[in-house]
């Protein structure tokens, strides 16, 4: 029997080497003046921002550049970007970069469109609905991770409350997503590894969540096979075009996976760890995926046992213990791309664990509700301890 499901993915997706050159043609339907958002000035210095501005100009789109965004975008930076867009008369937001830049573009489009601080849409008793007032968003991804170009999700950090919620609605999908593997060629090995592991975590979690759909299950399977084939190669040799191309596709497929199947306990924990300790997303996931996998795998063994087989790009699993075998394959990826460190090495201390667990329950509760094992607070703390 095919499971009953709901599926929604309203993004115009342009994939391929050189796709950046067509950004203006696709974006011109949505605005006349864009705020281009990057995380820091690297892409200004590399010439990519100037190149994008020239491409936009050919389609009669003016643009302004905004780079004051942290790798974990702060709510105050979102509000600052929205204010610049207002004073410059922008009517469209282009995120150029990894998930941070694209998430920031989404947040600014929400804050600008509703004329309210972004935190009003994040947490609290009076949390605001993200309506169709949200301004148009264009996503240009330069990493093979986060999947943000294909999702409605935007992750916003509040350093004073140490919270890092994921927000989104049907109105925060990008109008257009540009996935150009050429833009990923200069990604250093460490970022290739951590963003690539984020892709694998998305595919595993969207596939095993109780919100999974038959359509996204197919996409997650393909994403996991592509990660198995290409992540190690992309980390070892960034100029390997076939590997970059494969990881770019895996990232987008897994992004569509989490747009519908969402994420489970590992991402719930990783958001809260990031909020409390300021850790990097992909590395945090790599620390905790073995333990969350082990915790949840017996709640849906039929699905979890496929993951190892797919990572080997095989079709028949002849291992003795299929679940343990699957977990070992995931651990092998983590080891081979140099992400085999514990949470303690990322700066997490025993004194943080209670606050981290409370954060998951407080603002990432959906991730534990749709986890097949539905963990309690005690379970969360145990997983954290075993991931130190």
Q: Which stretch binds Fe ion (CB under 5 A): 131-139, 191-199, 236-244, 297-305?
A: 191-199
Minimum distance, C-beta of residue 165 to Fe ion, in the bound complex (Å): 13
Q: List beta partners, residue 166.
A: 155
Token look-up 């509000």 returns 79
Q: Which stretch binds Fe ion (CB under 5 A): 64-72, 90-98, 126-134, 192-200?
A: 192-200
For Fe ion, the closer CB: 198 or 283? 198
Q: Which stretch binds Fe ion (CB under 5 A): 18-26, 27-35, 64-72, 195-203?
A: 195-203
Tell me how far apart the alpha carbons of residues 236 and 238 are, in angstroms, rounded to a whole number: 7
What is the size of the binding site for Fe ion (CB under 5 A)?
A: 1
For Fe ion, the closer CB: 198 or 371? 198
Both structure tokens of 73? 């975008």
DSSP per-residue codes, 128-152: PP--TTSPPEEEEE-SSSS-GGG-S
For Fe ion, the closer CB: 20 or 219? 219
For Fe ion, the closer CB: 281 or 303? 281
For Fe ion, the closer CB: 99 or 308? 99
Token look-up 């140490």 returns 162
For Fe ion, the closer CB: 23 or 194? 194
Minimum distance, C-beta of residue 267 to Fe ion, in the bound complex (Å): 6
For Fe ion, the closer CB: 198 or 221? 198
Minimum distance, C-beta of residue 20 to Fe ion, in the bound complex (Å): 23
Verify binding: residue 180, Fe ion, rule CB under 5 A: no
Residue of minimal Cβ distance to Fe ion: 198
The rounded radius of gyration (Å) of the Cα atoms in the chain is 20
DSSP per-residue codes, 148-194: GGG-S-EE-BBTTTTB--EE--GGGS-SEEEE-GGGGTT--HHHHHH
Q: Of these, 198, 221, 283, 371, which contacts Fe ion (CB under 5 A)?
A: 198
Interacting residues with Fe ion between 361 and 380 (CB under 5 A): none
Q: Which of 79, 138, 141, 149 is nearest to 112 (CA)?
A: 79
Minimum distance, C-beta of residue 340 to Fe ion, in the bound complex (Å): 19
Minimum distance, C-beta of residue 24 to Fe ion, in the bound complex (Å): 29
Provide the H-helix boundaries in the chain: 23-27, 42-45, 48-58, 75-88, 99-114, 189-208, 214-236, 241-260, 265-277, 281-296, 301-311, 322-336, 353-363, 365-369, 377-386
For Fe ion, the closer CB: 90 or 364? 364
Strands 12-15, 176-179: pairing is parallel
Minimum distance, C-beta of residue 166 to Fe ion, in the bound complex (Å): 9
Minimum distance, C-beta of residue 202 to Fe ion, in the bound complex (Å): 6
Q: CB count, 10 Å around CB of 6?
A: 7
Which letter does DSSP use for residue 72 in this model? S
Q: Which stretch binds Fe ion (CB under 5 A): 39-47, 58-66, 190-198, 309-317?
A: 190-198
Minimum distance, C-beta of residue 99 to Fe ion, in the bound complex (Å): 7
Q: List beta partners, residue 157.
A: 74
Q: CA torsion 270→272→278→283, rounded to 10°?
A: -10
Q: Which stretch binds Fe ion (CB under 5 A): 31-39, 115-123, 168-176, 196-204?
A: 196-204
For Fe ion, the closer CB: 77 or 148? 148
Residues that bind Fe ion (CB under 5 A): 198
């Amino acid at each position: 029997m095919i499971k009953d499901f709901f599926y929604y993915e309203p993004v115009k997706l342009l994939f391929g080497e050189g796709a950046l050159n067509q950004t203006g043609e696709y974006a011109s339907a949505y605005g006349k003046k864009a705020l281009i958002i990057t995380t820091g000035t690297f892409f200004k210095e590399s010439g990519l921002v100037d190149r994008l501005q020239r491409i936009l100009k050919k389609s009669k789109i003016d643009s302004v550049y905004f780079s004051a965004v942290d790798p974990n975008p702060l709510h105050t930076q979102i509000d600052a970007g929205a204010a610049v867009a207002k004073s410059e008369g922008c009517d469209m937001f282009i995120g150029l970069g990894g998930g941070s830049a694209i998430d920031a573009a989404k947040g600014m489009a929400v804050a600008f469109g509703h004329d309210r601080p972004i935190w009003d849409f994040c947490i609290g008793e009076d949390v605001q609905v993200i309506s169709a007032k949200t301004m148009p968003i264009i996503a240009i991804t330069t990493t093979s991770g986060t999947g943000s170009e294909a999702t409605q999700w935007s992750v916003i950090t509040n350093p004073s409350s140490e919270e890092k919620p994921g927000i989104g609605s049907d109105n925060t999908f990008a109008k257009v997503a540009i996935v150009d593997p050429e833009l990923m060629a200069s990604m250093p090995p460490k970022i290739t590894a951590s963003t690539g592991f984020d892709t694998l975590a998305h595919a595993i979690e969207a596939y095993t969540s109780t919100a999974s759909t038959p359509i996204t299950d197919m996409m997650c399977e393909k994403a996991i096979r592509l990660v198995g084939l290409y992540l190690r190669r992309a980390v070892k040799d960034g100029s390997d075009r076939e590997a970059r191309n494969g990881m770019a596709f895996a990232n987008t497929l897994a992004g569509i996976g989490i747009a519908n199947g969402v994420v489970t306990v590992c991402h719930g924990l990783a958001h809260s760890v990031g909020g409390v300790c300021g850790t990097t997303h992909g590395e945090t996931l790599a620390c905790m995926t073995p333990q969350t996998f082990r915790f949840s795998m017996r709640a849906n063994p039929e699905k979890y046992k496929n993951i190892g087989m797919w990572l080997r790009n095989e079709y028949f699993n002849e291992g003795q213990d299929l679940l343990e075998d699957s977990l070992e394959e995931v651990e092998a990826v983590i080891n081979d791309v140099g992400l085999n460190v514990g949470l303690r090495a990322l700066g997490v201390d025993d004194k943080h664990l209670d606050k981290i667990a409370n954060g998951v329950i407080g603002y990432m509760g959906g991730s534990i509700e749709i986890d097949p094992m539905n963990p309690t607070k005690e379970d969360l703390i145990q997983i954290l301890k075993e991931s130190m």
